[in-house]
Structure 1
């Protein structure tokens, strides 16, 4: 009985006794570990930009993704105009809103495939030819664009004769010209003249090479479907695959040197641009700690992922660009995500990049857009692409 009681003597008492002995025993207590990241894969990408006061992350992410794709094929890094894609997409949004008689969302938001749609129809231009900034502006601010456009569209839908509403297309174009600037018919780049279509041809970028992958349970795996989310105004097609295959597809693409455009939810407190990490702690009381220190993360099942999507805890908040892979000192892997909220400052960590853990990715990812050449051969066969 005395031996049993001895086992329950407090640790502090034992430590005190051992310290007093000539042959003291050193007790090692594992220290909490701050993140220390090592690069595993790093794909060439342009510098981090700021989308400013706009909801155009979709074009910043999509354009950055295209820049990396052009670099991979040509070795040339071209600064693509984000606002050209935005300017060309607004009329399509307006048409969709009018034809649905105002019974759909009209906003600044969009998705990666909207950039591809714009490029396919209207070509590409470099940032130097179309910045979308007027007069002396240094920062994008679109706070008044949607309200002004929607006023015109709603007047037409309501058949407001006093507003001269039948000219809504002309009015939309006029507003966009004032806010973002007129689209150039031609421009000079590196001493040569192009128009948007010929510039696209020069880059050799082919929109047919790209697919969007997702993983949800409401549709059969290895099928194509239209994902019903608010920003999918253009009815983009998604390939549905199992969750583990989605992670494997991203890992394989990165290993093959292909980056990806990412649509995900960033509303969690554990997604932090300030600390430059996005993690999913298993314990709720570690939500603050996990931004600085390595903690145990949750295991994510397809069923839980589906539940969080259906109850709106996971929504298509934000688009970014996956440009690599890093690991911490415990060999946990994180995707290196290029954000569009500016570079390094007191409020932005990791030079504007976010290191996203795989548990966070599994739960919060809506979709990824990727060059199908970078995917596993077995997946391409299953998807018939």
Structure 2
């Protein structure tokens, strides 16, 4: 559901003196203001959730994105199961790890296209049909899943006669059943029975509508390439745009009513769930101040963006969901970004949303996923999509 925007405005003052005839008059004028945000675009999205103690932000963000897509198509806001996609992707990652003989990363992470791949192969289910929680559990905790799975997979790869199972797939499914629950083959929803495939069809979700866009200088612009990042185990393709074109693509999609799945880096101290903002100050000494006050931000060039990617200051460490745009009292625009860390901890009342400046987006975004219908015709023609 849409959130109520809470605006808080505080002023600090500088004391100035100026001469008036034969006396001095003391005047206080504002030199700084705390953020005051006004909505520009606000697209319907489901309630903020918590991914708990898991590395499954990629599923929470992309599932939220899919929920908004379904709402745009059907007018119904459906609570889709994040863990159904996670469960399917664990199986895919296990296969990839075995086929690469363990010479690749195996973990909880993934990307937006992994959810799309899961839907293509296995369909969709509502949260009511598959929660991924066992027993009385109310929070997600996957800390034991990957170690258990990797132990089985490594034994098979190393041909450990004492612990290797001749059919590692059976053991993987057994672990996932125990940790996440058995996947439904059919279920009742809103008075009717569905399979995951028929439910996806009922939701009018077409996985072929989605593309992933990025911007890097080490590949030709307007080309399609596989981005070599740790979580791209499934070798998903990315379309490469100029940096300003990537920003324009986001803005145009939002104006057309399409939300965005966002993969970015949130390791900067100026990304704050507590304060609900993400900015890139021009001056390092303004980092702390920038969490509550408007400051001048750094100009982000494609060259600087590339440098930060290549030196690992920008990594694919978190995925979120862009659902709108706001502006501050000086007219600066920010993306309204839905996070998956729950609704607590936001000092200025964003309720689990982050207002991300365009400077932060330009520097820290790895990629975006968008519905092709949200792109302008000239861009689609250039990319041949």
Task: Decide: shared fold, TM above 0.5.
Answer: yes
Query: CA contact under 8 A between 1:274 and 1:349: conserved in structure 2?
Result: no
Q: Are residues 1:218 and 2:218 paired?
A: yes
Distance in 2, matches of 1:247 and 1:335, equals 11
Aligned pairs (5 A) from 1:1-385: 15=17, 18=19, 24-25=24-25, 27=27, 29-345=29-345, 349-385=349-385
Distance in 2, matches of 1:84 and 1:49, equals 16
Q: CA 1:37–1:240 in 2, change beyond 3 Å: closer, same or farther?
A: same
Distance in 2, matches of 1:128 and 1:192, equals 13
Residue 333 of structure 1: CA displacement? 0.1
Once the two structures are superposed, residues 269-291 of structure 1 have per-residue CA deviations (whole angstroms, 9 ceiling, x without a partner) of 00000000000000100100000
Query: CA contact under 8 A between 1:41 and 1:255: conserved in structure 2?
Result: yes
Distance in 2, matches of 1:188 and 1:182, equals 16
State the match for 1:3 in structure 2. none
Residue 163 of structure 1: CA displacement? 1.2
Once the two structures are superposed, residues 99-156 of structure 1 have per-residue CA deviations (whole angstroms, 9 ceiling, x without a partner) of 1111100000000000000000000000000000000000000000000000000000
Q: CA 1:349–1:55 in 2, change beyond 3 Å: closer, same or farther?
A: farther
Helix, strand or coil for the counterpart of 1:205?
coil
Distance in 1, matches of 2:152 and 2:268, equals 36
- Any unmatched runs of 5+ in structure 2? 1-13
Residue 193 of structure 1: CA displacement? 0.6
Residue 165 of structure 1: CA displacement? 2.5
Distance in 2, matches of 1:230 and 1:128, equals 32
Distance in 1, matches of 2:187 and 2:150, equals 31
Distance in 1, matches of 2:335 and 2:264, equals 13
Once the two structures are superposed, residues 37-75 of structure 1 have per-residue CA deviations (whole angstroms, 9 ceiling, x without a partner) of 000000000000000000000000010000000000110
Distance in 2, matches of 1:239 and 1:247, equals 14
Residue 18 of structure 1: CA displacement? 3.6
Distance in 1, matches of 2:259 and 2:26, equals 48
Distance in 1, matches of 2:27 and 2:88, equals 66
Question: Number of aligned pairs?
Answer: 372
Distance in 1, matches of 2:383 and 2:333, equals 27
Q: Which has the higher strand share?
A: 2
Distance in 1, matches of 2:346 and 2:210, equals 37
Residue 28 of structure 1: CA displacement? 5.3
Q: Which has the higher helix share?
A: 1
Residue 23 of structure 1: CA displacement? 5.7
Distance in 2, matches of 1:383 and 1:164, equals 47
Residue 348 of structure 1: CA displacement? 8.7
Once the two structures are superposed, residues 167-223 of structure 1 have per-residue CA deviations (whole angstroms, 9 ceiling, x without a partner) of 211000000000000001111101111010110110010000000000001111111
Runs of 4+ in 1 over 2 A off after TM superposition: 21-31, 344-349
Helix, strand or coil for the counterpart of 1:118?
helix
